[in-house]
Each structure stands twice: as structure tokens, then as C-alpha cells.
A and B are shown apart, each in its own frame.
Chain A
Amino acid sequence: MDKKINLTQLADLLSQAGGMSKSASEQFVKNFFEIISQSVLSDGLVKVKGLGTFKLLQMEDRESVNVNTGERFTIEGHQKISFTPDADLKEVINKPFAAFETVEITSEQADTLASMNTVSQLEEESDESTDDVAKEDKPVQDKEKATIAVEDVPLESGNGNDNDNDVKVEPTVKEVTQKRGVRFLIKLLIWILAILLIVPLALYLFWPLIGNSVLEYVERDIKNRNKTEYVADSTGNVSKPVKETVPVNPQPSKPVDQPQEKPSQATPAEQPAQPEPSVTVPAQQQTQVQTTPAQQPSKPEPAATTPAKPAASSVTTGQGTSGYPAVKLNSADSAKDLKDFTEADTVNFIMDGDLTVHTLKSDETITKLALKYYGTKKLWPYIVKYNNVKDASKLHEGAKIRIPVLKAK
């Protein structure tokens, strides 16, 4: 087993088999291989019946990459001796594994097989090419798979079949029982690891399907809670949660709808239609208006405006005026207001004249401008609208951007 046989040993064996003297057989073996190596060099091809073909191959120049440095370099063309064993000899040598056949794999089997590969390789390394052990080995795998299969059926079922296909050796288990315990533990560990890996992966893959709906639900829930709390806190005398008021009075929404859609032209049209809310506290309006459209995307317009009405009528405190810039309001309000406020959508303000003209520098974006002038990134759409920017990504350095003064509605 695994011995290295040299010339003299080979000659000894030959003399026993062929009935030649030791010296003669040694000479013979020496000549035998000398002729092969010499003629390969001179002729480029030597065929020896029963052994195989030695061939001299010319390798072309080829380019390769140094793995460490990433440099490209050429491997220069060289010659190479190839050896192809005779078909008969090949068959004889592969006898221990002759029972195996190439098997077609279906897709499910392939996946489970990929995870099994590491296991089988480990085992095969440990007992090399010895067919005896190999024969014992396979049935053990079978048995263990069967036991695991009881625990998690869906994963294992495909695998069991697969193994049956390519292992045709009948089980000859005798003294493998001690080994089995250890191997079983290892395999169990590997399966647990595999499952731990697969579950997050599956979650990650299907997140777009599951995740969105979950997120939406959670978001809605939170906003609902925020809104109702807020109304109760600030106004005190609003008994019903805003949610209920939304569908009840859709009529007043009409006049405000149009200015919302086109806020740039809205200034004159809105004032007569809605004189009251402009005097009341803008922050409250904003928060209420802002939460509703996000929450009920199916009917954004009535939802956006209706809660503003009851809030406005019930609250009489005139903290801010209609012309008050929205940004400055921020500092006056509480932290919670600010937070709600920064989530403001594009519907709560009207643009009234230039605040300033900004010349765009490199690495500045519209959102950065919004952050700079209004204190929040969320208000960038106003700048875009005010400047009639068609594609914000195509703005170049030095472009003059007019920054509108924003007024709360």
C-alpha cells in the first residue's frame, strides 16, 4: 500500500514473473523506460500496447495574472509530456469504482447535494481509495440520512433518492457502529448550520414580497397612533379621533384640492376659498395634513384637507400668521412638532417669491439646498417645481437655482 516502487524492486518483481535473471530484468526495465523518454523527445509520440500513449505537447504562450499583485504576465510556451493510459488499463485501475455511473441530477437534488459535498469529501479524504472502507462508508451515509430524514422530511427526501441512485454497493456494515455516532453528530451539526444559513437567506430573498406589506402595516399603525394622540393633546376638545372625521365631511375639500395640485399658482385662488385656516396655527394643520395623504393613498385629496377644517375651527389660538415663513416656525414649536414637520410633504406650502438665488456648486444637490435653506431635506420638491427642473440629475455646476420663500397654507 502506498509504497514507492523503484527500479530494482520493479526488476525483482519482473524477474519473478518473467523468469529472467535479476540483472537482465533490471536492464530490461531500464531500457524500457529509457526508450520511452528518448523517443518521446525525438518522435513526440510513443505508443506502448497495454500501457498507454506518451505524447509531447507544445503549449502556446498564454497570459496569466499574478494572484497576489494582480499583474499580468505571460507564461511562455513550453513543451509538456502527456500520458493517456490504454482503455484496458484504465478500466482495470478504476475497477473499485466501476460500479458508479454518471447520474443526471434534477434541480432540487442538486441543491441538497451541494451542501452534502463537503461532508462526503471529508470522509473520502480520510480513507483515500480503499474500496473496503468506501463500501462501508456509503451505507453509513445512507443510514444516517434515513435517520435525519425522520426529523426534517422536506429537506432530506430528495437527497435520499439521489444517494440510492449512485450507490449500488450493498451494505456490509459490521464494526462501523462506533464511527457512526461521531459522524452522525458532525452531520447533524452541518445540517443545523445549513438550515440556519438558509432561513435568513430565504427571508432576505422574499423580503420584497412579505416585507413591504408588513412595513406598510406597521407604518400605518404608527401614524394612526401619532395622529390621534396629537389631536387629543393639542386641541383638547376634539373628542373624535381624526380618522373618523375623514370620510364624514368631504365637501369642504373641493376648493382646496386645486391649489394643492398646483401650489405655484395657488396663492390668489386659495385665499378667498379658505380665509379661516390661514389665521390659525399652521403647525397643526401641517401635521394633520401631512399624515393623512401618506396614510390613505387611495383617496388622498379629501383625506388631506378634511382634518384641517375641524382642527382649524376648534382651535382659536392665533400663534402664527398666514405670512409667517414656515422655517422659522420650526424653532418655535415643540420637538414633536418639528419631527412631524420635517416629514412634511409637498402639499403644505405655497411658494411666494424668491428667497434668494443660489449658484450650484459641485457636489451640491437640490436636497442639500433644501436642507440649507429650509432646514429639512423633505422640502426639495418645491425648489424643483419653482425652477421647472425637468431632471434634477442633469443639473450642472454653476446653475442658478432660485429658492422660493415658503409660506404655510
Chain B
Amino acid sequence: MNNKQFLTELSDRCQMSAEQAARQAQNLIGVMENLWQNGDSVSLSGFGVLEVKKKNERVSVNPTTGVRMLVPPKLVLTYKPSSLLKEKLK
């Protein structure tokens, strides 16, 4: 399912126009982005947790050349599905 299909489905369920749904989706993502930037996590029952995690810096080695690189620390958005959702998986 691509973004377009997703938005039409969303507009159908919420009984609003496709444009409105797209705008609200943008708003929602913007709101969540702000939360993540502040270090908060978004937790939704039945869906899971979207949170920002810090990955430590590490030394990686290019296996072919043997060149060692220092990979800097980074913040990454991670998703952990809820146990409810996991149960539905095979």
C-alpha cells in the first residue's frame, strides 16, 4: 500500500476529503516529529511504540579494504510493534 492508497483509505474512514486527510496526516506527523525531537515517545495501544533511540558511536571495518571507520553516534527513530499486533503475525 502506497501513500496515495493510504490517504484514500484514511479519508474514507474519517469521512473527510482526500485533501483534508492529507493535510491532517501532515499535521499529525509534524506533531509527532516535535515530540520525537524533544525525546518523547509515541505509544499507541494496539499499534506499538515509536521512539527515538540513541545509537552509540562505533568502529566499523570495511571487510574488503580493512579500513577502519569511526561511525559517529546517532539518533534513530525506532518502531516496536505492540504485543497485540505481534500476536496477529504468523
Contact = CB atoms under 8 A, between A and B. Distances in A.
Interface string A88-123: 011011111100111111010010011000001100
11 contacts: A10-B31, A10-B42, A20-B24, A37-B85, A41-B88, A50-B29, A56-B89, A100-B73, A104-B68, A104-B70, A114-B59
A162 B2 CA distance: 45
B26 interface: yes
Interface in A1-31: 1-7, 10, 13-14, 17-18, 20, 24-25, 27-29, 31
A2 B90 contact: no
B79 A31 contact: no
B24 to A, nearest CB: 5
Interface string B42-77: 111111111010101101000000011111111111
B19 interface: no
A89 B59 contact: no
Nearest to B43: A4
B33 A92 contact: yes
Nearest to B29: A50
Smallest CB-CB A-B distances: 9 pairs? A100-B72, A83-B79, A18-B27, A79-B89, A33-B47, A49-B3, A50-B29, A85-B77, A105-B68
B32 to A, nearest CB: 7
A367 B14 CA distance: 93
B17 interface: no
Nearest to A162: B70
Contact of B9 (A20, A39, A83): A39
Contact of B89 (A43, A80, A120): A80
Interface of B: 1-3, 6, 9-10, 13-14, 23-33, 35-50, 52, 54, 56-57, 59, 67-79, 81, 85, 88-90
B14 to A, nearest CB: 5
Given A29-B44, A102-B69, 17 more contacts: A5-B40, A5-B41, A28-B28, A32-B28, A33-B47, A46-B1, A48-B3, A48-B29, A56-B89, A83-B78, A92-B37, A93-B75, A94-B74, A94-B75, A100-B57, A101-B72, A124-B73
A25 B31 CA distance: 12
A310 interface: no
Contact of A32 (B10, B30, B88): B10
A85 B31 CA distance: 16
Contacts of B28: 10, 14, 18, 28-29, 32
Contacts of B40: 1-5
Contacts of B77: 52, 83, 85, 89-90, 93
A78 B90 CA distance: 6
Contacts of B2: 47
Contacts of A51: 29, 32
